[in-house]
Structure 1
Amino acid sequence: MANRRLFRILLAIACFVFAGVKGWQIWQGEYEWIDVFILVAFLAFGIMYVVILTKNTPQE
């Protein structure tokens, strides 16, 4: 894959969107323990991608 930066940006956005959807379900009160686990997992992956993106930025 030639441009991994764009791919990582899209993955980070997708992770935060899915975490937001799960967070909304939890906020509404319609959730089980697996929903909380999935929320935490998507947040962790999203933060991981943001850290990777900020770490690999070219130095000016």
Structure 2
Amino acid sequence: MQNRRIYRIVVTVACFLFAGLNAYEIIKGDYTALDVFLLVVFLVFGITYTYILLRKDKGI
């Protein structure tokens, strides 16, 4: 299987970027429940992809 490291790095950066944009909307005070939900979703995906990038490959 091909190496997807570059793809995972791009997705991780994008997730944290979108989470930051949603956090900025929340800090400004002009937010909806969807903004809070998207912040949590993007943080979860960003942390997941960071974990995948940093763990040692077990050969799987």
- Identity among equivalent pairs (%): 48
TM-score (norm 1): 0.87
CA–CA distance in structure 1, aligned partners of residues 46 and 13 of structure 2 = 7
Q: Cα distance, 1:55 vs. partner?
A: 1.1
Give 2:54's aligned residue.
Answer: 54
Equivalent positions of 1:1-60 (< 5 A) are 2-56=2-56
CA-to-aligned-CA distance 1:4-52 (integer Å, 9 cap, x gap):
0110000000000000000000000010111000000000000000000
* 1:23 alignment partner AA: A
Q: How many residues align?
A: 58
Q: 5+ residue gaps in structure 1?
A: none
RMSD between superposed Cα atoms in Å: 1.7
TM-score (norm 2): 0.87
CA–CA distance in structure 1, aligned partners of residues 12 and 38 of structure 2 = 15
- Runs of at least 4 residues of structure 1 off by over 2 A? none
* 2:26 alignment partner AA: I
